[in-house]
Each structure stands twice: as structure tokens, then as C-alpha cells.
Chain A
Amino acid sequence: MGGKFGAPDKMIIGGKRLDGRKPDELRPITIKAGVIPSADGSAEITQGETKIVVAVYGPREVFPKHMSMADRACVECRYDMASFSTPERSRPGMSRRSTEISKIMAEALMPAIYLEKYPKTKIDIYVEVTNANAGTRCAAITAASVALADAGIEMRDMVVAVASGKVDGKLVLDMFEIEDNFGSADLPLAYMLRKGEITLLQMDGELTKEEIQELVEMNIEACKKIYAMQKKALQDKYSVEKKAMPDAGEENGN
């Protein structure tokens, strides 16, 4: 991965990365819940320049019927990159890369969802990357968690995700495009904080066992910070709802 054509001479100068960050610093992140009125739940995330919108539809009827599972919900994710999200226009539609990401995303979120509470239904998670600047699958998982919560789907925990890697021999958190393209390793991770469970783990590049341990720890630390942002996004949207709830919770009879 190193020494590629077009690689900058140095990616870390005087302890700072090319975008001014320290090695263990996250890009600025904003998360907003409830951005697509037609969806049952939705969220938008910006992480540095990366911008992603996620919509959740479900639980809803399963088509075709034979896909339906008698005792639980089935979950399908569709991760798509808009053709204008990359410097050179990408052909619209699914690629092999987006097909793989769709699968592992669903598998990263399923452990959090109480699937057994929704037998014979389907939960669809639709991801659209409107601007790609590295870290898209992790940002998408973070936003998808918020969208699932926004849809009122019961979950054991939120799922948070972030990637880190190795650049100029140094371990760095939340790489942006140049670092992702010219770095020597990439390790995305998705995590449920409550019980310390990893739901997505990938690695690409060359790392020692110790480096992997360090990166995993760095990711988990960062996930704690991102979790606070997920919570804030949901509270911001629902705090307005709260003010009008009838005084007694008993009235709703749930």
C-alpha cells in the first residue's frame, strides 16, 4: 500500500497529520436523527467530509414470503454510494464492494436488535453515501444505529463504529481519504459498549499483533465519544416530543 503513485512525501509532520489532527483525534462529527419523513427511522452523519444518510423501514411484511422467518425478523442492509460521492463519477448501482459492505453492516447491527420481538417481519436499512471521504462503512453503522433507534425498534444496545490504521509507520484514528489511500493498514471496528461486544471487525494491510491490540483499544475509546453523539442526536430530536407528553405515564397504558 505504501509508495503508491501520487503518495505525499510525508503524512505526519511534527506530530500532526495532514489535516492538522493528532494521531488519536477524531474528525469533527455531527449526527442528526429523523431526516427522512417517509422512513420509519432515519439519521444523517457527517464525519469530516464524509456524508451519509440512512433510512430504516420496518419492521414490515416480508416479500417474497418464503424469506420470512417464523420466530424472528430478518434484516437486510443496502449500502450504496451516490455517483457524485467520489471524485471520479461512480457508476450507479451496487458494486462488489458495496455488496460486501451491505452484508457485513447488517451483521454488525443484527446482534443489537431484538429480532425475536418481530417474528415474520423484515427490517430494511438503506444507506446512501452522498460524499465519500474514507470511513464510510463505520460512519454508516453509527448512523444506522441512530436510525434504528429513531424507528422505535427495540435494541439491546446502540452499535458504534470507527476505523483506524497505520500511516507513515504511526497508528492513527479515523483516517481521511489521503491516509486511507496511502496508508499501510486499515482496521474498521463496530462495538456495543454495554457488554463490550465487537460486532464488526476487519483488517486490511500489514500489522503486528501488538499494533492490532493498540488499534482495537484506540477504536473502542473513540466509540465511547461517538456514543455520546448518538445519544445527543436522539435526545435533540425527542426532547421536543417530551414536553408535550401527558403528565402521567400510566395514561398511555403501554
Chain B
Amino acid sequence: MGIDSIKSYMSELLKKGQREDGRKIFDYRKIEVEVNPLARACGSARVRIGETEVLVGVKMDVTKPYPDSPDDGTLMVNAELIPLANPDFEPGPPSPQSVELARVVDRGIRESGAIDTAKLCITPKEKVWTVFIDIYPMNDDGNLLDAAALGAIVALKHAYIPKYDEKEEKVLYKELTKEKLPLTCLPVMTTFGKLDGNVFLDASRREEKSYDGRLSIATLENGAISAMQKGEAGTFTEKEVFELLGTAIEKGKELRGLIKKV
């Protein structure tokens, strides 16, 4: 195979601490967050990172609890990589990429205990609230993971629980109570890319086409890490991982600041 000249040029830029679009290696592109754009969701968000755009909707329903956690509400995260958002996405059953996206976002939220699932119990062993988080990218210009994770937390933060008619045992989907979905903390995800030994943050789609690997790290306000995921076929050294954990915590603070403002 010929030398990938675009990749070597990106590598040269990165060695100088620069990116194609003028950013520095650990800069995010411009982030915009819109709260509750979806009228029928319990809570929702539209997140833009550069030209990447993701819609996240939180819906709730009453279901039976899982047998191993009879007093807890449940969480289900789903991502639909619709072909609308990227010429390379194909319609059909969930691809490994969409399943990974959903599960990584899920892990960051679930493992941090962000949702107080005990408060989502209606009748132990019989009825609990299930929280559905649905992720729909509208335009993929790279780093869907961070946009999706950010959208999920903002949607959860602004979500209200629907009315439940105990007598009729029916959820009144069109009516929300004044009770907020119980959120205890704000986990945020930061995804780094690695190209030819150079590490950077928030890859654009062009950078994703050339990079070797990525590492996503979900962090909490107290500096704890709630999830990690290495993706693509590249590798990271121990030193890189530890350095990135520190950078992730710093960057996490920036994102959390944004969430608190909306």
C-alpha cells in the first residue's frame, strides 16, 4: 500500500501540537447544548460538537424489575446510527458500532450510580420505572461518543417522571409530574484519539478516518473514573493511559461546567 500522505501530514501537525482545523491537541470544537427540544420525551437534549449533532431522548415506562434487583428501577440505553447522519451508515439491525456506543454511554452512567434507581421503585418485586435513553445522531462529523454521553446526562438532568395512574395501572405518557428523575451526579465522557503515536482530543470525522485508536474515559466531579473504553485497532501505552486519565478529569470539569449552565 502506498504511503498515506494525509495521515503523515496529520501526524506532522500533531507533533507541533496542532490540528487541521486550527485547534490545539486537547481542545474541543465548539459545543452547543439545547435543552428539551423533543416535546414527547420526559427529558431531552440536542448536542452539537462542531458539526457533529446528536439528539438524545429520555422516555420512561413502568415494567417488572429484574429478578436480581427487585427494588430498583432499570436503565436501558440504545443508539440508532441512522443512515441520515453519515453516508457510510447502513440501514438495518444494530451494527457493532451502534451497540458499542450505547453500551459505553450506559456504562458511564450506570457504574457511577448517577441514577438513583432505588427511588424508581413503585412496588417492590412488581413495578419499577424503566428509564430509556435513546441516542439518534443527526450528523456525524466525528466523536459521536462524547456528544451522545453529554446529551444523555443533560437529558437526564432535565427529565421529569410521567404520571402513573395506580388504579388503572397505566402510565399517562402525555402528562409529566413535577417530580424530577433522581440524578445524583454528572458523569461526563471524554474521548481521545491516537495517530502515529500522537494523542489528541475530540477527533473530527476526517481524523477518525486516519487515526489508529481511541480511548474514552468517563469521569465524575470527585475525580473518580466510572468507565473506560479503548476502541479501534490501535494501542496505548501505560504512560499514555495514566496521562490521559489526568487530562480526562480536567476536561471533564469543563464539560460539567457547561452542563451546569443549561
Contact = CB atoms under 8 A, between A and B. Distances in A.
Q: SS class of chain A's interface: helix, strand, loop or mixed? A: loop
Nearest to B205: A38
A53 B84 contact: yes
B82 A126 contact: yes
A34 B80 CA distance: 22
**Shortest beta-carbon contacts, A-B, top 6:** A84-B57, A87-B173, A126-B84, A89-B59, A55-B84, A84-B41
Given A36-B139, A53-B138, A88-B173, A80 B82 contact: yes
30 contacts: A36-B85, A37-B51, A37-B139, A37-B141, A38-B86, A38-B139, A38-B140, A49-B39, A53-B138, A54-B84, A78-B91, A82-B57, A82-B80, A83-B59, A83-B80, A84-B58, A84-B59, A87-B174, A89-B132, A89-B134, A92-B80, A93-B93, A126-B82, A126-B83, A126-B84, A126-B91, A128-B84, A130-B55, A131-B40, A132-B40
A236 B61 CA distance: 42
Which one of B58, B82, B84 has the greatest number of beta carbons of chain A within 10 Å?
A: B84
B134 A92 contact: yes
B136 interface: yes
Contacts of B139: 36-38
B83 A57 contact: yes
A130 B141 CA distance: 20
B82 A85 contact: no
A86 B40 contact: yes
B216 interface: no
Contacts of A85: 38, 40
Interface in B64-105: 78, 80, 82-87, 91, 93
Nearest to A76: B91
Nearest to B171: A88
A62 interface: no
A127 B78 CA distance: 19
Nearest to B59: A89
Contacts of B219: none
A83 B85 contact: no
Interface string A111-153: 0000000000000101110111000000000000000000000
A83 B78 contact: yes
A88 B61 contact: yes
A83 B83 CA distance: 16
Interface string B21-47: 000000000000000001111001000
Contacts of B39: 49, 131
A84 B85 contact: no
A196 B92 CA distance: 37
Contacts of B84: 36, 39, 53-55, 126-128
B38 A130 contact: yes
A223 B83 CA distance: 29
Given A49-B39, A83-B59, A38 B132 contact: no
Given A38-B51, A126-B82, 10 more contacts: A82-B55, A82-B80, A83-B132, A84-B59, A86-B40, A87-B173, A89-B134, A92-B80, A93-B80, A128-B136
B194 to A, nearest CB: 24
A126 B41 CA distance: 22
B78 A92 contact: yes
Nearest to B174: A87
A84 B173 contact: no
Interface in A73-103: 78, 80, 82-89, 92-93
A80 B55 CA distance: 15
Interface in A38-66: 38-39, 49, 53-55, 57, 60
Nearest to A88: B173
Nearest to A132: B40
Contacts of A87: 40, 173-174
A83 B141 contact: no
Given A38-B140, A92-B134, A84 B40 contact: yes
A38 B136 contact: no
A84 B91 contact: no
Nearest to B53: A36
A82 B136 contact: yes
Given A84-B134, A88-B173, A78 B87 contact: no
